[in-house]
Structure 1
Amino acid sequence: MKITKGMPGYIRDQKKKRILITILLFGISIAVFLTGYLTTHTRNNLLTIVAILGCLPAARSAVGMIMLLPYRSFEEEKVREVETAAAGILSAYDMVLTSSEKVMPVDVLLISRHLICGYVSRTKVPPAEVEAYLVRILKENHYDKVTVKIFTDYDSFLKRAESFGETKQKSEGQPDRAVREMRRLILTAAV
């Protein structure tokens, strides 16, 4: 199964892919350079220019890879706990939100029509800033009446997720279009 953005294990999967792609792109550039050098016995040839230009996408790939290296996927055991506690709630895992000022890792978000509840294990950025950033994204897209609460304590988050799940079971079955759209907007802001 293909792991897409917002699924558990996304960061782990992307690290592997980006490392392989970066190595491949730099390898191609080196191979092109060496081919030109070994055939002409000088660096002054057309293949050197092609190899240099080939370093541009390789460097871009390396930047994406380096950006994800410090972050980890949400632990599988905790994913199962959250899925059990908040059954039926639309969720998004393994996100690294990027604004123009900060990079904010978010382990999990539970999304409903009027409340987004999330957990952050790494607290380099204060939870209030993550909350403000998510509220701003939603307001810019005309979702004004959404409350965002980010937890740094896993047990508190899990308790909130359980009450979230109980509320959801009493109300409707499938997430509606607006909730899926809010999830899509949040994932668009993530790496």
Structure 2
Amino acid sequence: MKKVAKGNFGYIEYNRKFAAIRTIVALIICLIIFFTGLIIYHSNKSAFSIIAALGCLPTGLSAVNMIMYMKAHPCSKEAYDIIESHRNGLLIRYDLEMTSYEENYSIAAATVLDKNVVCFTENKALDVANCEKHIRNQISQSGYSNYTVKVFKDINAFCTRLDQLEQIRKSKNIDPQAIEDSWVPGTVETCALVLLSVSL
């Protein structure tokens, strides 16, 4: 199973499988340790039981992580193919699941260019206004104020906006990938990196 980097298409699907396998393996190890102690000492009052119980902590965390990925909404292959046909020189991030105390915000695809954050969601139940507010709050904490944030549910409207941004990119000779590549760890993250940081 080839690892999929955060922000790439297929990230959520990869982590669903990885988290499920990790959780099952961790659970099996805990059970093996527990039953080994039970067989050897004919009692659950042994060091094996303590080790197995301690092993349940990371197993539980892994299970919670797995559930979060299972509830997330990844970008569909159909939407991905359409978006890629309009990508051109833009930097598109996929499979962003943003969490907050109130709710989760599923972003299938997002791009950042020239003080514009443009996103697409396939989650029809998503509260777009709250999602836009959440993204605006998150990026403003890193110093990105006066940014326009727009979340689309209509893929055609999203792709039309991508085409408009591509014209801006060409006219201003902006290279989004070069901007990301030039980021130095330890310095303020780029706006696109902030979106990745606040996602699962």
Flag whether TM exceeds 0.5 (same fold). yes
Letter in 1 for 2:84: E
Number of matched pairs: 191
Residue aligning to 1:158: 159
Alignment partner of 1:183 is 2:192: yes
CA deviations on 1:79-135 (whole Å, 9 max, x unpaired) are 232122131112210011011222111100011131011111113331111111111
Q: CA deviation at 1:159?
A: 1.4
Residue aligning to 2:168: 167
Letter in 2 for 1:133: H
Is contact 2:118-2:150 (8 Å) kept? yes
Residue aligning to 1:70: 71
Q: CA deviation at 1:43?
A: 1.0
Letter in 2 for 1:93: Y
- Give me the identity figure in percent: 25
CA RMSD of aligned residues (A): 1.8
User: Partners of 1:125 and 1:15 in 2: how far apart?
Assistant: 21
Give the direction of change, closer, same or farther, for the CA distance of 1:184–1:103 in structure 2 (3 Å limit): same
Letter in 2 for 1:97: M
CA deviations on 1:159-184 (whole Å, 9 max, x unpaired) are 11122223222321412359971111
User: Partners of 2:132 and 2:48 in 1: how far apart?
Assistant: 50
Residue aligning to 2:93: 92
Is contact 1:86-1:164 (8 Å) kept? no
User: Partners of 1:174 and 1:58 in 2: how far apart?
Assistant: 43
Letter in 2 for 1:155: N
The DSSP-based 3-state class of the residue aligned with 2:71 is: coil
Letter in 2 for 1:73: P
